[in-house]
Amino acid sequence: MSNDSETVSKVLWAELFPAELIKRQQQCPIVYMPLGLCEPHGQISAFGLDTFKAEYLCTRVARQVGGIVAPSMNYHVHESGPSAKFLEANVGEHNPYMSSVPPYVFYHFFLYQLRSFYNAGFQSAVILSGHGGAHVHDLRKISRMFQEQTGMNIWYGTDFDLVEGTYTGDHAGKYEISMLMHIRPDLIDPSKKALEELDGAGGRLAAALDADEATRAYGELICDACELALSRIVTELGLQSEPATNRLPLSYGVVEGLWSQIVSSAESGTEHWAALQPREGQAPVSEQSRWKPYEYIRMQTNL
């Protein structure tokens, strides 16, 4: 038999019984979705660093403020647009072992994830990504257009956004490696840095030059600051949120209609897609690079 403290500690949608989910939703109709990606963060770090950051923060805040944490999304946008040049420079021709998907696949599915939250009765959604990049602009646009269509409050951001002006985010540097040292110290092993010098091991695999400066104590400071900022965001959303009643579910047809509007808004020049082409002034990817085919891609509507 579970006690009250065990019930409070259960915040994962996947672990809740129906009565528990309904009770938590009535108390705080907010859903969190952690977004991440498996990608290289140097020889010293596990691939899932981005996901672990987002899961940690969402779970911590849900236990303190309320709400329910949806299943994590461990596939994300990389490779395309600005990312192609980043990967050429930081991974080269090595296998990156990434769980990336094309933007038009991820964006379409992301819209359906928002639909699932709406149809489940949540009034607000907090989408926290541990993986940053040009796609953030695109996903904010999709979130905004979904909110305008449905009235569901949506906050989309990264952990970098939560501490902007206080800590400087990075990729596999002092910031990120320190966070994982605090969250999952078992998934950081500085001794593996020696593999960078071995032929066939993959080199630095996108590790930043200041990764050696990372400490668990610094990671705890960053995590605490992120947690505080996210708690404030969720509290503000909670003041705007009431459990949904008599809400008609969104059909596939409605979502497909919204998807067509989202795609056409970019194609008409109203709003561009940031992750489909290099940033203005960015150096081109080398013709012989494995990343060249993804430098410019087109959005697709019929998948």
Mean pLDDT across the stretch 226-254? Answer: 87
Q: pLDDT grade, residue 241 (50/70/90)?
A: low
Q: How close are the terminal C-alpha atoms of the chain, in Å?
A: 47
Q: Has residue 56 been placed in a domain? A: yes
> Each residue of 134-164: pLDDT tens digit?
999 999 999 999 999 999 999 999 999 999 9
Query: Is 32 among the domain residues?
Result: yes
pLDDT at 222: 98
pLDDT of residue 9: 83
The answer to whether position 109 is within a domain reads yes
Mean per-residue pLDDT for 77-89? 96
Indicate whether 154 belongs to any domain. yes
Average pLDDT, the chain: 92
199: domain CATH number?
3.40.50.10310
Q: Which of 24-28, 48-52, 244-248, 274-278 is the least confident region?
A: 244-248
Residue 245 pLDDT class (50, 70, 90 cuts): low
**What's the whole-number mean pLDDT along residues 287-299?**
94
Domain count, the chain: 1
Tell me the pLDDT tens digit for each residue of 173-228: 999 999 999 999 999 999 999 999 987 888 999 999 999 999 999 999 999 999 99
**26-40, 72-86, 113-127, 260-274: lowest mean pLDDT where?**
260-274
- Give residue 89's pLDDT: 95
**Domain range holding 97?**
12-294
**Whole-number pLDDT of residue 5:** 44
pLDDT of residue 239: 75
Give pLDDT, residue 4: 43
Quickly state the pLDDT bin for 242 (edges 50, 70, 90).
low
pLDDT of 271 strictly over 80: no
Interatomic CA distance for residues 43 and 140, integer angstroms: 32
Whether 260 is covered by a domain: the verdict is yes
The arithmetic mean of pLDDT across residues 18-39, rounded, is 96
Is 53 among the domain residues?
yes
More confident residue, 266 or 272: 272
Residue range 82-107: mean pLDDT, rounded: 96
**Over the stretch 120-131, which tens digit does the pLDDT of each residue have?**
999 999 999 999
Q: Tell me, yes or no, whether 143 lies in a domain.
A: yes
Alpha-carbon Rg for the chain, nearest whole angstrom, is: 20
pLDDT of residue 16: 98
Q: What is the pLDDT of residue 7?
A: 46
pLDDT, one tens digit per residue, over 248-269 is: 999 999 999 999 999 988 766 5
Residue 111 lies in a domain: yes
Residue 1: pLDDT above 80?
A: no
